[in-house]
Amino acid sequence: MNILDRIVADKRKEVELKNSIVPVSQLEKSVLFERRTVSLADALRKSKTGIIAEHKRRSPSKSVINQDLNVQDVAQGYENAGVCGMSVLTDGKYFGGSLDDLLLARAAVQMPLLRKEFIIDEYQILEAKAYGADIILLIAAILNKEEIKLFSELAKSLHLDVLLEVHNQEELRKSMMPSLDMLGVNNRNLKTFEVSLDTSKSLSKLIPDDFVKVSESGISSVEAINDLKAYGYQGFLIGENFMRTKDPGMAASEFISNLS
């Protein structure tokens, strides 16, 4: 079993447990369920920088990244820096995140928030809406075409943007459908955790222009972003580069000023 298979197996158990305690009817009663969402895809289309900054405490490949900061402080720092949106990891076991992180970030800022999660069930999409997300992530490596269609259409019915993540041509081909807003290319191989920006470059020409193109993972320099922009990318997900510092908001601010 590779790390991705282990995460998904654990996630199925977790979702089943949560669903037995907090029914869908309760999620739908959340104050945030009626909140008007903000589109990340629109923000990226209008932006000159396209930065999506991430809150990430740890990961299976890098262990601890930063356990010392409050998510609301990080969110406010990112918003003040002028990022287009923020990705909040909500997986507990492997990334040290939680839905409370999403809730606290939502209370602190107005910008679009992405629930970064391994979504394998409709329940998690309703959870995302109930906890204040504007965007959900779908990972093609763990979903079949029917699931991608079902989950993305549910998200659209809740006015959530959908970012679909791919790693190769096969995943891209099965995934393209009108219910997606953004196509993200993850430069990190989720099975080996090796990173190469060539993944984004080689897949860029296969992504139609109706989708906002997002490059994810392994982006740590202004040069890398300028390079990827030439391939049509409008969004750039950066996590570890900012989170490894004592002040991620300040790091994001300096990065954006160098970019502009």
pLDDT, tens digit (0-9, with 9 covering 90-100), for 174-226: 999 999 999 999 998 766 778 899 999 999 999 999 999 999 998 999 999 99
pLDDT digits (tens, 9 = 90+) for 150-188: 999 999 999 999 999 999 999 999 999 999 999 999 998
- HEC string of the chain equals CCHHHHHHHHHHHHHHHHHHHCCHHHHCCCHHHHCCCCCHHHHHHHCCCCEEEEECCEECCCEECCCCCCHHHHHHHHHHHCCCEEEEECCCCCCCCCHHHHHHHHHHCCCCEEEECCCCCHHHHHHHHHCCCCEEEEEHHHCCHHHHHHHHHHHHHCCCEEEEEECCHHHHHHHCCCCCCEEEEECECCCCCCECCHHHHHHHCCCCCCCEEEEECCCCCHHHHHHHHCCCCCEEEECHHHHCCCCHHHHHHHHHHHHC
Q: Are 167 and 139 in contact (CB under 8 A)?
A: no
What are the per-10-residue average pLDDT scores of the chain (260 residues)?
91 98 97 97 96 91 79 98 98 96 98 98 98 98 98 98 96 96 91 86 95 95 96 95 95 94
Pairing mode of beta strands 63-64, 58-59: antiparallel
Q: Which CATH architecture has domain 3-259?
A: Alpha-Beta Barrel (3.20)
